């Protein structure tokens, strides 16, 4: 029954995975084998997907399997048929899928559809068998678990509800907001397990935003608090069994190792800067080394090695291996990292704030150059934004960094409150827009513009190239009594050299006749220029211009420029908003025809190319759309 299988990527790389449909609960050695096999599957699915979170998946997989073994035993003993487990941190989705696969909820092939359109979402979504709720934005887990507990009580259903949190996630305020009423309502059915791997995105939890005395904080909130070894399935299992009769909600801190099970993944570099396996896939070489280490462990075990006897290696051709860059590609992030360092040197009033995303928001250079003016806030966006507020009131220019979804939706009221003080604060929202799509809609900011546009006095920019980034920041700094939101598309960077700055707000990327594309951001600027190149083959010479200052009225010069065209296509990477629409409508003078190529609603997730195509925002779809209107 137990055996390994192999899928072969186009590159020739063999992805080893472990096939098994069911736990064998009678044999605890079987669980140990499952823990190792699941690690192979996590790695295979991430390697096939081209991205995913290895470290947190390896640190949490044993806990997940222990919880499922525990639930299965309660089913068999008729204690409960309705136990609920879900993971709040969500970026451990590859582990969750490996565990669901081991449990029999997912079939083998599904593992290889991780982060694919209509496949397994980058963060858990309810469409997947065994997934109870959508997660991916940190901090919501305990509240969600309480909702399940309340629902089960109302339905008189006996159930234990176990939610897995990350240890960095404990920095979110909602976690602590959620504790007291669970205690008040004696939610003894509720179990929180923290995957205590002690490393968050940027660094060690203790250096970043320490827990201090976690047990005191939790017990002080009226909960029971226990610790255990999160890699000892039997210990976790016994702890869950032993605590069934407790009267209080239970909080377990499971000591784990990030990347546990593979020595290279367990390593934190000596430079102390970044753990290397928080997110992203690995090279072929690392993949081979890691799987070899796991298989060696299997072979080294007397019982497990007997399971290996059944290994088969059929060769199955998979689809094209997605793009996994060996070096970090140029983007507005890398550009920002250098430019930020430069302006902080020039402007002493700049203070930067970051919420555990230094690598992805480009603060990694400046935090070294200007440690006093760098505030690492941890995963605490509301705290970060309110701190920025009073720094601004005190005469500083705070630049606030996070991913665009988290930055615009978690601390919305705090941003509004700051805006009522009419100070200058720059909010930098990264990973903005439809792409990268693999992580799913919790990370795909498409309503960020609508929300930030509702904040009084907010200036909104979406640069597409290095020059526009610099220009946007320059303009934002000059706005001394109003805040600015800089939307940073993190994929690609439009070349600045083929741009002719106008005196107005438009930058002309390509001259043309009759038809003009107006767009913003690196992704759609690049796609639009490509679309124009495609249309040239059909004899159409269309223009492309970018308007980085999204909610600024067009100047006379802009209008003059636009009025030379017959048709204008607005190509947008976000849901429609009032001010952008109206400012274009103002231009709808006699003879000018305006159309929108954009998106609305919940964005799809999957590989970048397939999602871009799905929403009709790739260069070919844009070109087709324009061409179809011409014909």
Contacts with its own copies in 559-618 (CB under 8 A)? Answer: 575-579, 581-582, 585, 601-602
Task: Choose, by CB under 8 A, the member of 160, 188, 410, 549 that binds its own copies.
Answer: 410
Whole-angstrom Cα distance, residue 142 to residue 240?
Answer: 17
Residue (59 or 447) nearer to its own copies, CB = 447
- Residue 26 C-beta: closest distance to its own copies, Å: 33
Whole-angstrom Cα distance, residue 407 to residue 5?
Answer: 43
**Residue 153 burial (10 A CB sphere; 0-12, 13-18, 19+):** middle
Q: Does 177 bind its own copies (CB under 8 A)?
A: yes
- Residue 367 C-beta: closest distance to its own copies, Å: 15
Answer whether 286's CB lies under 8 Å from 98's CB. Answer: no
- Residue 140 C-beta: closest distance to its own copies, Å: 4
Residue (98 or 425) nearer to its own copies, CB = 425
Taking CB under 8 A as the binding criterion, the range among 269-277, 361-369, 404-412, 524-532 that sits at the site for its own copies is 404-412
Q: For tokens 């480009």, what's the residue?
A: 362
Length of the chain measured in residues? 631
Residue (73 or 386) nearer to its own copies, CB = 386
- Residue 336 C-beta: closest distance to its own copies, Å: 22
Query: What is the rounded (10 degree) CA torsion for 178, 181, 183, 185?
Result: -140
Residues in contact with its own copies, shown as a per-residue x/- string from 103 to 132 under the rule CB under 8 A: ----------------------xx-----x
- Residue 257 C-beta: closest distance to its own copies, Å: 23
Residues 271-330 that bind its own copies (CB under 8 A): none
> Which DSSP state fits 252?
E
Residue (209 or 619) nearer to its own copies, CB = 209
- Residue 224 C-beta: closest distance to its own copies, Å: 12
Whole-angstrom Cα distance, residue 113 to residue 122?
Answer: 10
Residue (319 or 348) nearer to its own copies, CB = 348
Q: Does 402 bind its own copies (CB under 8 A)?
A: no
Whole-angstrom Cα distance, residue 200 to residue 441?
Answer: 21
Residue (21 or 207) nearer to its own copies, CB = 207
Task: Choose, by CB under 8 A, the member of 21, 28, 129, 180 that binds its own copies.
Answer: 180
Residues 56-95 that bind its own copies (CB under 8 A): none
Report the DSSP pairing between strands 565-571 and 514-519: parallel
C-alpha of 252 from chain center: 26
Q: Does 425 bind its own copies (CB under 8 A)?
A: no
Query: What are the backbone dihedrals phi and psi of residue 573, each rounded to the nearest 5 degrees, phi first?
Result: -105, 20
- Residue 57 C-beta: closest distance to its own copies, Å: 21
Q: What Rg value do the Cα atoms of the chain yield, rounded? A: 26
Report the DSSP pairing between strands 190-196 and 397-403: unpaired
Q: Which two tokens stand for residue 422?
A: 């009419």
Residues 440-479 that bind its own copies (CB under 8 A): 441-442, 447, 450-451, 453-457
- Residue 595 C-beta: closest distance to its own copies, Å: 14
Strand blocks (E) in 45-121:
84-87
Q: For tokens 């995957």, what's the residue?
A: 195
Closest residue by Cα to residue 161 from 174, 142, 180: 142
Residues 332-391 that bind its own copies (CB under 8 A): 351, 372-373, 375-378, 380, 382-391
Residues 185-224 that bind its own copies (CB under 8 A): 209-222
Task: Choose, by CB under 8 A, the member of 118, 292, 347, 420 that binds its own copies.
Answer: 420
3-state helix vs strand vs coil in the chain, percent to 5:
40, 15, 40
- Residue 484 C-beta: closest distance to its own copies, Å: 16
Closest residue by Cα to residue 199 from 12, 356, 40, 75: 356
Taking CB under 8 A as the binding criterion, the range among 418-426, 485-493, 496-504, 562-570 that sits at the site for its own copies is 418-426
Query: What are the backbone dihedrals phi and psi of residue 177, each rounded to the nearest 5 degrees, phi first?
Result: -65, -30
Residue (263 or 420) nearer to its own copies, CB = 420
- Residue 631 C-beta: closest distance to its own copies, Å: 26
Report the side by side order of strands in the sheet with 190-196. Answer: 84-87, 161-166, 190-196, 250-255, 224-229
Residues in contact with its own copies, shown as a per-residue x/- string from 142 to 161 under the rule CB under 8 A: xxxxxxx-xxx-xx------
Q: Which two tokens stand for residue 581?
A: 């629409």
Task: Choose, by CB under 8 A, the member of 253, 406, 547, 565 that binds its own copies.
Answer: 406
Task: Choose, by CB under 8 A, the member of 295, 409, 587, 592 that binds its own copies.
Answer: 409
Strand blocks (E) in 392-505:
397-403, 426-430, 459-461, 484-487, 500-501
Residue (45 or 135) nearer to its own copies, CB = 135
First to last CA, the chain: 60
Residues in contact with its own copies, shown as a per-residue x/- string from 493 to 522 under the rule CB under 8 A: ------------------------------
- Residue 453 C-beta: closest distance to its own copies, Å: 7
Whole-angstrom Cα distance, residue 539 to residue 149?
Answer: 64
Report the DSSP pairing between strands 543-546 and 484-487: unpaired
- Residue 320 C-beta: closest distance to its own copies, Å: 29
Query: What sections of 348-393 are H helices per DSSP?
Result: 358-361, 366-369, 381-393
> Which DSSP state fits 23?
-
- Residue 447 C-beta: closest distance to its own copies, Å: 4
């Amino acid at each position: 029954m137990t055996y390994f299988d192999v899928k072969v990527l186009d590159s020739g790389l063999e992805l080893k995975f472990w096939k098994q449909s069911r736990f064998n609960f009678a044999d605890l050695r079987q669980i140990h084998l499952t823990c190792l096999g699941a690690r192979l599957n996590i790695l295979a699915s991430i390697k096939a997907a081209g991205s995913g979170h290895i470290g947190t998946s390896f640190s949490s997989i044993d806990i997940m399997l222990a919880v499922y073994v525990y639930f299965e035993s309660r089913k068999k003993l008729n204690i409960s048929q309705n136990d609920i487990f879900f993971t709040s941190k969500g970026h451990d989705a590859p582990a969750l899928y490996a565990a669901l696969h081991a449990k029999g909820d997912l079939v083998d092939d599904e593992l290889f559809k991780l982060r694919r359109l209509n496949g397994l979402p980058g963060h858990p979504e309810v469409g997947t068998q065994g997934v109870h709720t959508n997660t991916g934005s940190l901090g919501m887990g305990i509240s969600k678990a309480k909702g399940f507990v309340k629902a089960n009580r109302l339905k008189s259903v006996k159930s234990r509800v176990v939610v897995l949190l990350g240890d960095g996630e404990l920095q979110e305020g909602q976690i602590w907001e959620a504790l007291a009423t669970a205690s008040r309502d004696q939610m003894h059915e509720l179990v929180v397990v923290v995957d205590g791997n002690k490393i968050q995105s940027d660094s060690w939890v203790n250096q970043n935003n320490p827990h201090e005395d976690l047990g005191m904080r939790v017990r002080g909130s009226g909960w029971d608090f226990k610790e255990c070894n999160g890699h000892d399935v039997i210990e976790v299992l016994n702890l869950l069994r032993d605590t069934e009769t407790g009267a209080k909600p239970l909080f377990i801190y499971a000591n784990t190792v990030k990347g546990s099970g593979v020595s290279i993944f367990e390593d934190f570099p000596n430079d102390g800067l970044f753990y290397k396996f928080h997110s992203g896939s690995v090279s072929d070489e690392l993949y081979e080394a890691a799987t070899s280490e796991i298989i060696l462990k299997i072979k080294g075990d007397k019982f497990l090695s007997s399971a290996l006897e059944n290994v088969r290696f059929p060769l199955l051709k998979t689809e094209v291996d997605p793009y996994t860059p060996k070096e970090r590609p140029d983007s507005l992030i890398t550009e920002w990292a250098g430019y930020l360092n430069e302006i902080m040197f020039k402007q002493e009033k700049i203070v930067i704030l970051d919420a555990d995303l230094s690598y992805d928001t480009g603060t990694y250079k400046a935090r070294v150059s200007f440690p006093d003016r760098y505030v690492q806030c941890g995963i605490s966006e509301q705290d970060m934004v309110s701190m920025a507020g009073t720094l601004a009131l005190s005469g500083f220019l705070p630049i606030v960094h996070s991913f665009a979804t988290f930055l615009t939706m978690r601390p919305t009221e705090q941003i509004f409150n700051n805006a009522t003080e009419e100070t200058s604060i720059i909010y930098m929202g990264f990973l903005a827009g439809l792409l990268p799509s693999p992580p799913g809609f919790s990370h795909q900011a498409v309503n960020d513009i609508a929300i930030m546009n509702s904040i009084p006095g907010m200036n909104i920019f979406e640069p597409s190239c290095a020059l526009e980034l610099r220009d946007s920041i320059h303009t934002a700094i000059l706005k001394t009594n109003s805040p600015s939101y800089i939307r940073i598309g993190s994929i690609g960077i439009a070349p600045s050299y083929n741009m002719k700055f106008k005196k107005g707000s438009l930058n002309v990327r390509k001259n043309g006749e009759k038809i003009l594309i107006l767009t913003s951001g690196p992704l759609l600027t690049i796609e639009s220029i490509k679309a124009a190149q495609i249309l040239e083959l059909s004899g159409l010479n269309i223009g492309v211009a970018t308007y980085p200052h999204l909610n600024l009225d067009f100047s006379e010069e802009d209008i003059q420029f636009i009025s030379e065209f017959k048709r204008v296509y607005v190509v947008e990477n976000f849901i429609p908003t009032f001010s952008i629409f109206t400012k274009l409508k103002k231009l709808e003078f006699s003879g000018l025809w305006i159309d929108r190529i954009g998106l609305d609603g919940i964005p799809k997730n999957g590989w970048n190319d397939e999602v871009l195509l799905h929403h009709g925002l790739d260069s070919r779809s844009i070109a087709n759309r324009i061409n179809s209107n011409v014909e």
